[in-house]
Structure 1
Amino acid sequence: MVHVVDLRCEYRKNPVGIGEKHPRISWRLEAEERAVKQSAYEIEVAEDDRFTRTIWRSGRVDSEQSVHVALEHFEAESCKRYFYRVRVWDGNGDSTEWSDTALWETGMLQGETWKAEWIAAPADLLPDDSARLPLLRAGFHLKAAVKRARIYATALGLYELEVNGRRVGDSYFTPGWTSYGHTLQTQTYDVTEMLRAGENAIGAWLGNGWYKGDLGWSGKGCLYGDRLALLMQMHVLYEDGSEETVVTDRSWKCAPGPIRMAEIYHGETYDARLELSGWSRADYKAEGWADVEVIDQDNSRLTPQINEPVKKIQTLKPVGKIRTPKGETVIDFGQNLVGWVRFRLTAEAGTEVKLMHAEVLDQEGNFYTENLRKAKQTVHYFCKGGGEEIYEPRFTFQGFRYVRLIGFPEPIDLASFEAVVLHSDMEMTGRFECSDPLINQLQSNILWGLKGNFLDVPTDCPQRDERLGWTGDAQMFIGTSAYLANVAPFFTKWLGDLAADQREDGAVPFVVPHVLNDSDYASAAWGDAAVICPWTLYVSYGDARILERQYASMQKWVSYILAQGEQEYLWNTGFHFGDWLGLDAKSGDYVGATERDLIASAFYAYSVSLLRKTAGVLGKTEDEAVYGELEERVMEAFRSEFVTPSGRLSASTQTAHVLALMFGLLDETAERRAADKLKKLLEDSKHHLTTGFVGTPYINHVLSRYGMNDDAYRLLLQKDYPSWLYPVTKGATTIWEHWDGIKEDGSFWSKDMNSFNHYAYGAVGDWLYKTVAGIQTDERAPGYKKIVIAPQPGDGLTWAEGSIETLYGQVRSAWKMEGDGTMRLEVTVPPNTTAEIRLPGAASASAVKESGEALRKAAGLQRVSEAPAEVAVEVGSGEYFFVYPFQQAGASLAGISQ
């Protein structure tokens, strides 16, 4: 029996406040039998959940498509709720029941006219030298009971709303960080249950955030504007069908609030003695409050929120209390995280307590903050007295594991503190485990790197005076992140900002949103995020719309490169970060030894190849031909410039060989020589990395692809510096910026650039899923419509398991090497997909059993093929259990530890 489940609109379950006029629907199928496929579907959309007022029907559509299904000739209206349901026909022509009803609701769509006005506290409300933040409020009357009420809101700066004394929604750092001059997101809130007939009140907290606060390491503020402001519109529907609108306008009042300072980098100062009790309640008397000012703003840039909002995701309790050699009181949360600390205390009025946040302790065991540079990461709280007080910040976040307590009454009760983890509310989708506990900790560190740096934008680090959307880091990690979480909405929003901040000549800034200097544009491997990120999303989610929307940006980037080189079809001009932090760099230099023009030209070819593929996906055949010819010319120029006539790469570095092989830039002779040379370079380094940001994400992929899988495993399992596991052996709980951020003697690599939560090197997670677990999608049928399961076991692991929740359902691969040399492989393939399963080390199909049966008799198998040391089967959906004698190609697995 087949069931339709997990209905989604634009990736989300029952979203409220989306901005798509032409939303897409996705669903999954549930079935116990194997090889289940959809042959047709039908969708209905209605204005009510009983479908008595159906407004759109697809009719029966003969199609396997169940992901990103467009509603043909349907256009959604602003501020409206839609209900929908789906039924399908299976491969036998049998129809399912209608699915459970799902819904979506639009926000104020872009281009709509707002009745509300932008309001701000008058400039003279607070002194120029004051960092204190304002409160805004208004009372309003409702004539009767409310049937439905929605708030549509945004701000210049950050905002939080309260209605009748209660916080509105569970989102934080709204409206998020965008290229504010081009895009400002709006949020939608259901406040029906918060309102009552009669008198009501609404209030707003405003904070500096990214809009007005300090950004970057040069201490600049007010990069987007110098006035905080609010725009809010409440739509009220009464039971009798009549409507009313409450808006921000000149009738609102404002007053200084209890937040004396709030900066993302520096923390928050809160004076509870300045609280205005009940200020957002209807019975509050706003005596002495000032009139707000109405300011002009361009509303054409307003759009409903695209990505998931930041939310409180989990809390952690301290694992211990430390008295440092300096006598400091420090609590340890056991995990480097991003968020803030919520605490309780009882103290006299005026008592000041302070929390300082740090990632690590120094080699003597003292609290260490020098790597934060100018970021203070400090919370000050002044008690109001009179009983227990509970506090947590609003408009700041910290990156920390350790918190130094100053001024707290003794004895310190650890139960009074908890860390609140905040990040964009992405659905977590991936899971990886294996037989090595250190690798499992590495995987945890990679995941926590995502959690800490995916707070509305993909930042490089979450603690020091930076926290910027570095394009290079994002493109290096996006593949891994797409296994760990559903990052499609997150990156869709960010890529819109990338296109908005792209220069007219096509140059892409180093960071997005762009807040650096006008000259900080167009480094190879960084700017290539314009092409690599959309393509990765397409492959991971089968989402062609992201390619459509980014296509012009992708073209502009390639056109920019084409105009650069002094030699035609090479990129050998301008500034480039090169192989950033490469370990083969000259002493005192951050840039690795691989020539920057080789790296730039390699990425040039790679971006052109992806743009060619994109043109093909979008049906732009003329463009596909043009970019295909350009790709050939760039590759020819690369070979002419960087490969000798005998097929030797001119640069003798790991990174040069990795890029040339990964991007397919060499002919057959040079390719063979490059693979052999890479192996020799690894042997020369005793199987240690010398790569930096550019080479590291690809090196294990290249090794496994070119028959050096054992070398890839040796790299992965190294425990001494430099290696992925060295930080793990030093107690790391996130990925470090430098392999030796903490040296063997406990000293630090540097104080200037030494983040302990920097996800770039966590890109090895992509290889763990794709090669160790063996879970891949075929880019000819992307988004896991056609799945490839191709694990490559290696010395050092006896089992590994990976899974990912795709839009079709769970894909799982779990292999285990038994002591007698038997290989067991379990695979889960979701309904409405197919998979090619490559059984590593299987000598012949006749030696393989599936669920206890001879392979060729197994149900659900569509085709069996054989190759040396590998048997491949094509299957439909279902759970499969393969058992066979393992024959390792090359090195033996005999003697591996259990």
Structure 2
Amino acid sequence: MKTIVMIFALLLTVTALRAQELPPAQWITTTRSQSATNTWIAYRKTVQLSAAPAKALASIAADSKYWLWINGKLVVFEGALKRGPNPQDTYVDEVDLAPYLRQGENTIAILLCYFGKDGFSHKSSGRAALYFDCMAGNTPIRSNRDWKTALMNAYQAAGAPYPNWRLSEPNLLFDARSERKGWEQPGADVRWMEGAKELGLAGVYPWNRLITRPIPQWKDYGMKAYRNAAAIPAVSSGDTIVCELPYNAQVTPYFEIEAEAGGHVQIFTDNYYPFNGAESNIRGEYITRAGVQAYEHLLWMNGHKVFYVFPKGVKIKSLRYRETGYNTAFSGAFECSDPFFNRLREKALRTLYVTMRDNFMDCPERERAQWTGDAVNEAGEVFYAMSPSAHQLIRKWLHEVVSWQQPDGKIYAPVPAGNWFDELPCQVLSTLGYYGIWTYYLNTGDKATIADLYDGAKKYLMLWEPDGTGLMKFRGGDWTWGDWGDNRDLLPMYNLWYYIALDGMERMARELNKPADAARFGADRARFHTAFNARFWNGAAYRDPAYKGKTDDRTQALAVVSGIAGREKYTAIMKIFAEEQHASPYMEKYVFEAMFRMGYPDEALARHKARFSDMVGDDRFTTLFEGWGIGEKGFGGGTVNHAWSGGGLTVLSQYLCGIEPLSPGYDTIRIMPRPGKMEQASAVVPSVKGMIRSAFTNRNGRFLLDAETPAASATVIAIPAAGVKKIKMNNKIAWANGAYAKSGVKAFGTEDGYVRFLVGPGKYRFEAEK
């Protein structure tokens, strides 16, 4: 028996050694591929396994997307990330195939889609190919010339009109008459496929280094019926069939029909033309074969409705759709006694989710671009709405912004991109400063990431030149933008964004133990503070003396949230907020926040309601617009799903309900509601430490706060004290007549009209009576 065991062990060792000696994985393609736009390639490999492996981690890379089947089962739906961890390299997926492999024969089938053009969120390598490397137990499965490959000629490029120039994705036409039906299934006849062509090892040009995918695979919600499924006709009349989605979603439309050969089918959404910024976007076409046939359009599109146009007489057996999206949970919550803000938050959340996938997007149909200022607002919303898996998309965005930095220090927006190389200074500064990198660290405690980003952020700030007065010379960059809309007072606005970036850099320098840098940034901030007020405050507003337009509300908001504006200026600034409304929905977030921070919650809520009333009240859409209207009324063409408009989601939880981190990673929490006249509001925040809950009732001279804090965090709870005579904590007097009770409660002092308590993890009820 002992001898048998030794022989078995020796065989395992020899097998493992042979696996290591086998040639490494290659990038592979088919010899017939010309890497034209919209190239689709099938790959297939049959493997014998002596046993089902306990682990089989596969590294899979592609330009541009792939679908993976193991033994006929779909395992990965739309794998690979658009290229762009930096200007040269490629993302690689890691997928555990062990649950799908078995003892004996195993069939691996992969369908690859090569976009073949650059876009605002993708840099094409210029070549269609696949890389696959897996150790299934002791058996290597590696892409090489032994794989079978073939062009999938049924997948073709649709004709004009083409997707607008910002999009890397093509319009897809599928000709079912050329379909290789069932090719991905075990036992299929694949004599039409040929041996693969090897192009080089991992690291070879043009794909270069393989960077591990930093975000999860997509969440697949499965096939679903349309809301109006019962009204779908059994036979096409030749007219457009309008199918209703429950909300704006990322979908791949599906149909099953019976038709004659050669019929032409069109598939698109309501975002293809009417509500998309007035440019053509993604659509699909299909040519029928004779008989019953089913088809799923694999390149996702989005909208509230899906339109199918079938030839007259086609029998419709089923119209459905698959929803996919970023793999996170909507773990946060908000609810209040004003239905408007409940609806605002609901629409903001839907807008945020439909603008998340490979990267944060400004909009999911016209551009799919990671404009970095948009991502600042989106990241803030994520922390209050979604489970921590969404933090990985924020980290990916920040790494990409800095990894695309040019040797001279310039940073582009958007990135990744293969056809846009311009600096957008205001958005870059917002990313590198308090609201970008620092807010990420404050919410996650991920010090490794700020260490990675610090030098690049510092290098960019060094591009800005002092003007000799303590302020900075105007740096317009390649696109001097500031915001959509008119009356933009750009010189003070850009200087304020620089100051906010200095704030973030000083905090990071202290956290990373860089005292010399911290001292320098601190001294720069002190000089800047004095110089800015001396130059731009005219006694009634912050204005550039050379600026001739109406007073810019954006500039006043940034002065408040940056800390440049002192309390003595708040009354004057509030007068401006009451009279001037120039900010886009993007910058309105900072106005909303500024008004709360100044202590005007009722006025803040009233302004936000007035400005967003049209889009929140528009029952045609479940998402928020790019501008205050749509079409010609919208900025930049105006899309109906722009996550930069959802800043209210952040402000309602952070300021109305008062939940925010005081130290990185929520080691210390503050719950400081700013209720104004709001009678009731509650929020749940899915922090990295656990769920945080805040719920207040504010009526009849009594303020009641229920709070729940997670383990491993200390919490400062602040109770509004205006006119309050006593405060109870868990039914015991904690504060009365201006003094803390001697009952063991941990006092944290009074400030800004609040009485503050320091508590540990647990549930608390505070009652304040006037």
**TM-score of the two chains, using structure 2 as the length reference:** 0.85
Give deviations 1:716-747, integer Å, cap 9, x for gaps. 232xxxx12220112231110011226xxxxx
1:353 to 259, 265, 269: 265
How far the C-alpha of 1:527 sits from its partner, in A, is: 4.5
How far the C-alpha of 1:435 sits from its partner, in A, is: 1.5
**Which residue does the alignment assign to 2:578?**
683
Q: Residue type of the partner of 1:392?
A: E
Q: How does 1:733-752 map to 2 (within 5 A)?
A: 733-741=622-630, 748-749=632-633
8 Å contact 1:432–1:769 — kept in the other structure?
A: yes
How far the C-alpha of 1:608 sits from its partner, in A, is: 1.1
**Which residue does the alignment assign to 2:395?**
492
Pair 1:546–1:315, CA change in 2 (3 A): farther
**Which residue does the alignment assign to 1:766?**
650
**Which residue does the alignment assign to 2:4?**
none
**Which residue does the alignment assign to 1:810?**
691
Give deviations 1:477-530, integer Å, cap 9, x for gaps. 321222112332112122222122111222110201133344x11422334413
CA–CA separation in structure 1 for the residues paired with 2:241 and 2:184: 37
How far the C-alpha of 1:432 sits from its partner, in A, is: 0.9
Pair 1:840–1:343, CA change in 2 (3 A): farther
Q: How does 1:296-375 map to 2 (within 5 A)?
A: 296=200, 298=203, 301-313=209-221, 317-320=225-228, 328-359=240-271, 368=274, 371-375=277-281
CA–CA separation in structure 2 for the residues paired with 1:289 and 1:439: 58
User: SS of the counterpart of 1:463?
Assistant: coil
Pair 1:860–1:835, CA change in 2 (3 A): farther
Residue 442 (structure 1) aligned with residue 351 (structure 2): no
CA–CA separation in structure 2 for the residues paired with 1:619 and 1:634: 23
How far the C-alpha of 1:145 sits from its partner, in A, is: 4.6
CA–CA separation in structure 2 for the residues paired with 1:777 and 1:750: 35
Q: How does 1:568-587 map to 2 (within 5 A)?
A: 569-575=471-477, 576-582=479-485, 585=486
Q: How does 1:97-108 map to 2 (within 5 A)?
A: none
CA–CA separation in structure 1 for the residues paired with 2:529 and 2:439: 22
1:160 to 28, 43, 67: 67
How far the C-alpha of 1:302 sits from its partner, in A, is: 1.1
CA–CA separation in structure 1 for the residues paired with 2:306 and 2:540: 59
**Which residue does the alignment assign to 2:453?**
550
8 Å contact 1:863–1:875 — kept in the other structure?
A: no
Residue 284 (structure 1) aligned with residue 193 (structure 2): no
Pair 1:155–1:438, CA change in 2 (3 A): same
CA–CA separation in structure 2 for the residues paired with 1:139 and 1:693: 54
Pair 1:880–1:411, CA change in 2 (3 A): farther
Pair 1:330–1:447, CA change in 2 (3 A): same
**Which residue does the alignment assign to 2:612?**
724
1:116 to 25, 40, 43: 25
Q: How does 1:371-390 map to 2 (within 5 A)?
A: 371-375=277-281, 377-387=282-292, 389-390=293-294
**Which residue does the alignment assign to 2:679?**
798
User: SS of the counterpart of 2:703?
Assistant: strand
8 Å contact 1:783–1:807 — kept in the other structure?
A: yes
User: SS of the counterpart of 2:426?
Assistant: coil
2:114 to 202, 208, 214: 208
Q: Residue type of the partner of 2:196?
A: V
Which segment is superposed worse, 566-575 or 146-155?
566-575
**Which residue does the alignment assign to 1:405?**
308
**Which residue does the alignment assign to 2:604?**
712
**Which residue does the alignment assign to 1:479?**
380
8 Å contact 1:862–1:876 — kept in the other structure?
A: no
RMSD: 3.2
Give deviations 1:421-441, integer Å, cap 9, x for gaps. 322213433111112222111
**Which residue does the alignment assign to 1:175?**
81
Pair 1:812–1:876, CA change in 2 (3 A): same
Residue 600 (structure 1) aligned with residue 494 (structure 2): yes
How far the C-alpha of 1:245 sits from its partner, in A, is: 0.6
1:627 to 500, 505, 521: 521
CA–CA separation in structure 1 for the residues paired with 2:37 and 2:609: 53
Q: Residue type of the partner of 2:639?
A: S
8 Å contact 1:501–1:514 — kept in the other structure?
A: no
**TM-score of the two chains, using structure 1 as the length reference:** 0.74
**Which residue does the alignment assign to 2:726?**
847
Q: Residue type of the partner of 2:451?
A: E
Residue 873 (structure 1) aligned with residue 728 (structure 2): no
User: SS of the counterpart of 1:284?
Assistant: coil
User: SS of the counterpart of 1:380?
Assistant: strand
User: SS of the counterpart of 2:425?
Assistant: coil
Q: Residue type of the partner of 2:333?
A: R
Give deviations 1:805-853, integer Å, cap 9, x for gaps. 22221100011234x3332211111122121111124644x62233333
Residue 137 (structure 1) aligned with residue 51 (structure 2): no
CA–CA separation in structure 1 for the residues paired with 2:336 and 2:291: 53
Which segment is superposed worse, 180-189 or 424-433?
180-189
8 Å contact 2:362–2:642 — kept in the other structure?
A: yes
CA–CA separation in structure 1 for the residues paired with 2:123 and 2:715: 50
Pair 1:350–1:859, CA change in 2 (3 A): farther
| Runs of 5+ unmatched residues, structure 1 | 1-112, 238-242, 361-366, 586-592, 743-747, 887-898
8 Å contact 1:498–1:530 — kept in the other structure?
A: no
How far the C-alpha of 1:154 sits from its partner, in A, is: 0.9
CA–CA separation in structure 2 for the residues paired with 1:812 and 1:133: 49
User: SS of the counterpart of 2:682?
Assistant: strand
8 Å contact 1:332–1:403 — kept in the other structure?
A: yes
Pair 1:410–1:540, CA change in 2 (3 A): farther
User: SS of the counterpart of 2:277?
Assistant: helix
How far the C-alpha of 1:461 sits from its partner, in A, is: 0.6
Pair 1:277–1:514, CA change in 2 (3 A): closer
CA–CA separation in structure 1 for the residues paired with 2:376 and 2:107: 46
How far the C-alpha of 1:138 sits from its partner, in A, is: 2.3
Pair 1:607–1:131, CA change in 2 (3 A): closer
Q: Residue type of the partner of 1:158?
A: K
**Which residue does the alignment assign to 1:789?**
671
Give deviations 1:263-296, integer Å, cap 9, x for gaps. 8645432233333234234433322323322113
Q: How does 1:501-520 map to 2 (within 5 A)?
A: 501-518=404-421, 520=422
Q: Residue type of the partner of 1:741?
A: I
Q: Residue type of the partner of 2:193?
A: W
Pair 1:525–1:858, CA change in 2 (3 A): farther
**Which residue does the alignment assign to 1:190?**
96
Q: Residue type of the partner of 1:121?
A: T
Residue 254 (structure 1) aligned with residue 123 (structure 2): no
User: SS of the counterpart of 1:457?
Assistant: coil
Q: How does 1:526-541 map to 2 (within 5 A)?
A: 526-531=428-433, 532-541=435-444
| Runs of 5+ unmatched residues, structure 2 | 1-21, 736-740
2:560 to 643, 646, 661: 661
CA–CA separation in structure 1 for the residues paired with 2:639 and 2:476: 28
Give deviations 1:380-417, integer Å, cap 9, x for gaps. 23444544x443232x221211222201677997x933
Pair 1:701–1:131, CA change in 2 (3 A): closer
CA–CA separation in structure 2 for the residues paired with 1:852 and 1:129: 72
8 Å contact 1:310–1:425 — kept in the other structure?
A: yes
User: SS of the counterpart of 1:510?
Assistant: coil
Q: How does 1:222-233 map to 2 (within 5 A)?
A: 223-233=123-133
CA–CA separation in structure 2 for the residues paired with 1:694 and 1:444: 17
User: SS of the counterpart of 1:269?
Assistant: strand
Pair 1:765–1:270, CA change in 2 (3 A): same
**Which residue does the alignment assign to 2:718?**
838
